[in-house]
Amino acid sequence: MKNSASRKLRYLTLSAMFAAVVYVLTSLQLFKGLLPNGGYVHIGDAAIFMAASILPSPYAVCAGVVGASLADILSGSVGWVPATVVIKAVMALLVSSKSESVLAKRNVGMSLAASAFCAAGYLAYELMIYGPGSAFATLISFLWLVQLIGSWAVFMGFGYAMDKVKIKGTVLRKI
């Protein structure tokens, strides 16, 4: 068994790698500018779900918050960072589990719940910032469903692959 400092460093390294993946998948903006609020749709939440399924909760939260916040900041959507910090942290906590598999029943179900929370959270933030007209227009655009379903589908695909190679039972056990 590795000592505590070594284990923490390995988790920190994995967390930084997941933050980078969250950033990249979030920065690959789908439907940029089609949302009434100027926001964008992405599949970065899939990486948050993966991090939450693999890492201990504090590391998964940091990976999701750092990666998604960097994507907001570097894309010029700085005003959304306060919502991103809260929403992505809660999403990671909802999915986080100590199961031996990535696609444990809990993770599959909670990733859908986390996606719904994400959509509702950003909609509530938009309502506060831009008012009901913008929030209603975003709601009826249904583009948020692309992000919800897309991120969940990507998570399911990568989770299936990670479970096939037993990432949690072999590779991560060595940490």
- Could you give the domains of the chain? 4-174 (1.10.1760.20)
Q: What tokens were used for 151?
A: 């991120």
Residue 18 has pLDDT above 80, yes or no: yes
Measured CA distances, 41 to 27, 62, 122 (Å): 9, 21, 12
The DSSP result for 60-127, as a single string, is: HHHHHHHHHHHHHHHTT-GGGHHHHHHHHHHHHHHH----SSTT-HHHHHHHHHHHHHHHHHHHHHHH
In the structure, what pLDDT confidence band is assigned to residue 4 with cuts at 50, 70 and 90? confident
Confidence at residue 117, expressed as pLDDT on a 0 to 100 scale: 94
pTM above 0.75, yes or no: yes
Q: Is 140 exposed, middle or buried (0-12, 13-18, 19+ CB in 10 A)?
A: exposed
Angle of the 105-130 helix axis to the 45-54 helix axis, nearest 10: 140
Where residue 75 falls among pLDDT bands split at 50, 70, 90? Answer: confident
CA–CA separation, 8 and 10 (whole Å)? 5
**pLDDT-based confidence at residue 100 (cuts at 50, 70, 90):** confident
Answer for the pair 20, 48: CB distance below 8 angstroms, yes or no. Answer: no
